[in-house]
Structure 1
Amino acid sequence: MNRVEVVGVTHRGRVRPANEDTIAVAGFLSAVPEGEPVRLTVSSTRPVTCLVADGLGGHADGARASRLAAQVIVDASPTFADSAAIVAAVHRADANLYAESGHPLPRGAMGTTVVVLTVSGADATCVNVGDSRCYLLRDGLLVQLSRDDSPPPSRPGPAAPTGRVTQTLGGRLTPAPIHPHVQRLSTIAGDRFLLCSDGLTDYLPVDDVENCLTGGGRPDDVVRDLLRRTLDAGGGDNVSALLVTILE
């Protein structure tokens, strides 16, 4: 039996006119009041899959792209017995975006990033394409499980957000191969995973993220605090976060 608690929130931010992010938990896609966290406790014998998809701003139909990709992955999620099945679903989502957008497009094909976390028994698998992230908090230590598809820094020192990614689902005039990043690990009760779009991590330093997660607050309060801090820091992009806690 897989038992997890998930608190999720999505918000358009303080600048963007619309929200192009999509969040999904155990088959449910985001259709919630903007900015209000929602909590779900999931008990299932099937794998439990959560994801954040961030539609590409400035491309055609970013919101549609993130929702379509999320729907393809969610529909396949009951069969996620291993990482190969998750990767195959991500590839199908990529192909569907190109099929739906058609060619040529004057503004480019619609595209999205995605980060997926599947919990199955005592194992978890993280798969990502783009710069939406997944972190694990265990024993007070925060570790990034996902891998950013971002351009290398132009100069030594901490890399500033570029707003560009080197790999996405869709998002190009002609289809290009994608190579999803995969991270597998064993879970223990009390593990916390944070899935988020770059609208959070571009504005909130990782130390602040860690402080929020280790502060001992209830998951609902932690997610509210993450959103508040991000908006206070400028909130220049859509913001989405899922906090996943392993109960058993």
Structure 2
Amino acid sequence: MRYVTVTALSHPGLIREHNEDSLVAGPWTLCGTVTENPQTLVFPLGSPLVVAVADGMGGQPGGEVASALAVRHLASYGPTLDSEEAVRDALKLCNHAVYAAAERDPTLLTMGTTVAGAVVLPDSLLVFNVGDSRVLDATSDGLRQVSVDDSPPLPPGRRTTSLVTQSLGGSDRYSAITPHVTTSPLATGCRYLVCTDGLTDPVPEDALDGLLRAHDDGRAAFELWKSAIEAGGPDNITLALIGVGGTSDTLG
């Protein structure tokens, strides 16, 4: 039997007072909650399975509200996300939902969130993002980013930036988005890391790759979180490890 494992963890880090990150795995959502112990869920491979993280934009009101709205909408749309077009439409609806909520409550004006994730289908993976949260493919040749950062060009010698060029919400008036959505083949044994920049900003990609090579599932998620904490834990840390298991080498 073919199946998908999702191991998730979310933590505020060492500096932030609140966790403004949210996460969705199938019908399960985790919003503004602390889970120092990784949680592993197992799903049968078949119907579309959405796994995503949303990072509420710091320094603006209602980041946790925006991120929760995004993942709850994705959870409800999840079973219908069977194509790139369906994913793009769902993300655009999420964007509308964030702006609509801010319009109803003036204290939430300019709230916004990034989002990144994947929809697991029987023979392929739909990778998507808006903003700078990431999806990384843990290949045998090393960690490979398959999402596209919506960030301005970095000056020489600088590896990170807190600026984003696109988000769900985030402005005082409605702004349309152009989601990044791509399709990748799926194979038994493949692993993907979906995470907010609270992990990728303080921890270099080669360090993430080393930890994923050394550990599986819950231990890997714990060690990834620990690496961000040891690097100062400057931001909320949310991650989900997607694994595909089963009895055949390829799916389809």
Q: TM-score, normalised by structure 1?
A: 0.94
Question: Match of 2:86, SS?
Answer: helix
Return the alpha-carbon distance in structure 1 between the equivalents of residues 75 and 233 of structure 2. 28
Which letter maps to 1:175? Answer: Y
What are the within-5 Å matches in structure 2 for residues 167-246 of structure 1? 167-215=166-214, 217-246=215-244
* Deviation, structure 1 residue 44: 4.5
Return the alpha-carbon distance in structure 1 between the equivalents of residues 221 and 210 of structure 2. 12
Return the alpha-carbon distance in structure 2 between the equivalents of residues 156 and 17 of structure 1. 32
Return the alpha-carbon distance in structure 1 between the equivalents of residues 65 and 176 of structure 2. 21
Structure 1 residue ranges, 4+ long, deviating more than 6 angstroms after superposition: none
Contact 1:104-1:173 within 8 A present in 2 as well: no
> Unpaired runs of 5+ in structure 1?
none
Contact 1:129-1:149 within 8 A present in 2 as well: yes
What are the within-5 Å matches in structure 2 for residues 84-103 of structure 1? 84-102=85-103
Return the alpha-carbon distance in structure 1 between the equivalents of residues 2 and 91 of structure 2. 23
* Deviation, structure 1 residue 105: 4.8
Which letter maps to 2:93? Answer: R
Which letter maps to 1:134? Answer: V
| Deviates most, 6-15 or 97-106 | 97-106
RMSD of the alignment, in Å? 1.7
Question: Match of 1:36, SS?
Answer: strand
* Deviation, structure 1 residue 206: 0.4
In the other structure, the counterpart of 1:132 is: 133
Equivalent pairs: percent with the same residue?
33
Which letter maps to 2:140? Answer: D
What are the within-5 Å matches in structure 2 for residues 147-166 of structure 1? 147-153=148-154, 155-157=155-157, 159-166=158-165
* Deviation, structure 1 residue 107: 7.4
Contact 2:87-2:181 within 8 A present in 1 as well: no
> Unpaired runs of 5+ in structure 2?
247-252
In the other structure, the counterpart of 2:250 is: none
Equivalent residue pairs, number: 245
Q: TM-score, normalised by structure 2?
A: 0.92
Question: Match of 1:24, SS?
Answer: strand
In the other structure, the counterpart of 2:27 is: 27
Contact 1:196-1:242 within 8 A present in 2 as well: yes
* Deviation, structure 1 residue 138: 2.1
